Amino acid sequence: MAIAQEKSRLVFGTATPGGGFPAYGWPYAEVLNAADATLGIEPINTKGSTENIVSLEQDKMDLGLVTGEVTYEAIKGIGGAPAKNIRIINATYSQAGMFIVRGDSPYKTIDDLKGKPIVWGAATSGFIVLARYVMDGMGLDFQKDFQPILLKSAGEGPPMVLDGRAAAMWGGGLGWPPFAEIAKGPAGARFIGPSVDENKRIMAKHSFLKAATMAANSYPGQTAPVNSVGSWPFVLARASLPDDVAYKLARALHKSEGAFGKRLEQAVESTLANTLAAAPSRELIHPGVLKYMREAGLVK
């Protein structure tokens, strides 16, 4: 984590192998490192959002990918003291939580899945936190009202759905590797999100969650949009990250938005404009990022 005179070595926590955060983190590092030769972003696999928050708080990591729900709990002090040592570098991509089932599955609604074996994802993943809030908003308990399957890594989930050990897998977001793997299976796939009424109930109880839609054709065979709720994950930094380093990260991302979007479909949303809109408050954005945003004319 030491800042060298010529190159800033930055340890960047992603999540467990096979999930969306590693799929985002490595291209992110490569694109930004290429845009600024003084950046040395080094992505690593971690247990996911919860571990990344703790590591950032303790200055054990420079950057970390964290879901919106885990970020919300951290800054509100839900489950512990409020996090003080985290700041936003950028929002990543909007994430709507939903289930995927095989195309030949008889299940069409969330009610149909009650009592069935459900892969919720890696036990330390932010998707678990999202699932807890979404199910709670519907008056359900994701552990008691289903047969919960928690994994060591997200990549373990698709085979369980494909071979019938699990009725569905919970997840979300464009380009999410487990969804892509299941959708490419011989039976195809179908997505199940909350109904219109269920979405209203969820957002009424947990107002930090917002309506989110996964556009049609986001995955093979998915011909209609899927409506749900969700939030924006973030690339977070330890607040103690020097302002000049955060400034360089923001500049490199801003100059590489087009290239990053071509490299990774979901990265088209990784813009500084979206970061301003998604941040819970401007005070949570790293001062170095805000400095660049002012110079770029994005904020006054």
Distance CA 140, CA 114 (A): 9
CB-CB contact of 167 with 118 (8 Å): yes
Tens-digit pLDDT string for the chain (300 aa)? 444 457 899 999 999 999 999 999 999 999 999 999 999 999 999 999 999 999 999 999 999 999 999 999 999 999 899 999 999 999 999 888 999 999 999 999 999 999 999 999 988 888 899 999 999 999 999 999 999 999 999 999 999 999 999 999 999 988 899 999 999 999 999 999 999 999 999 999 999 899 999 999 999 999 999 999 999 999 999 999 999 999 999 999 999 999 999 999 999 999 999 999 999 999 999 999 999 999 999 998
- 10 exposure class (CB count in 10 Å sphere: 0-12, 13-18, 19+): buried
Decide: helix, strand or coil at residue 140.
coil
pLDDT at 72: 94
The residue ranges of DSSP E strands in 189-290, in sequence order, are 189-192, 210-214, 226-231, 234-238
Amino acid sitting at position 96 = A
What is the predicted pLDDT for the residue at 174? 86
Domains 8-93+232-295 and 95-231 share a fold: yes
The 3 state secondary structure assigned to 60-74 is: CCCEEEECHHHHHHH
Write phi, then psi, for 212 (nearest 5 degrees).
Answer: -145, 145
For tokens 């590092």, the residue is 29
Q: What predicted TM-score, i.e. pTM, was given to this entire model?
A: 0.87
CATH number of the domain located at residue range(s) 8-93+232-295 in this protein: 3.40.190.10
What tokens appear for 87 in the block? Answer: 């700041």
Residue 213, φ and ψ in degrees, nearest 5: -125, 135
Nearest 10 degrees: CA dihedral of 257, 263, 264, 266? Answer: 30
Nearest 5 degrees, angle CA 215-CA 179-CA 233?
Answer: 70
Residue 16 contacts residue 125 (beta carbons within 8 Å): yes
Identify the CA nearest to 2 among candidates 236, 242, 246. Answer: 242
**Amino acid (1-letter code) at residue 199:** N
Helices (H), 173-224: 177-183, 196-205
Burial of 148 (0-12, 13-18, 19+ CB in 10 A): middle
Overall CATH class of domain 95-231: alpha beta
Whole-number pLDDT of residue 2: 47
Contact between 36 and 28 under an 8 Å Cβ cutoff? The reply is: no
53 contacts: CB under 8 Å, gap ≥ 6:
64, 66, 70, 71, 74, 83, 86, 236
Question: How far is it, in rounded angstroms, from Cα 236 to Cα 87?
Answer: 6
**Count of Cβ atoms closer than 10 Å to residue 215 Cβ:** 11
Here the tokens at position 68 are 């919106």
Distance CA 79, CA 148 (A): 22
> How confident is the model at residue 7, as a pLDDT?
87
Burial class (CB in 10 A: 0-12, 13-18, 19+), 58: exposed
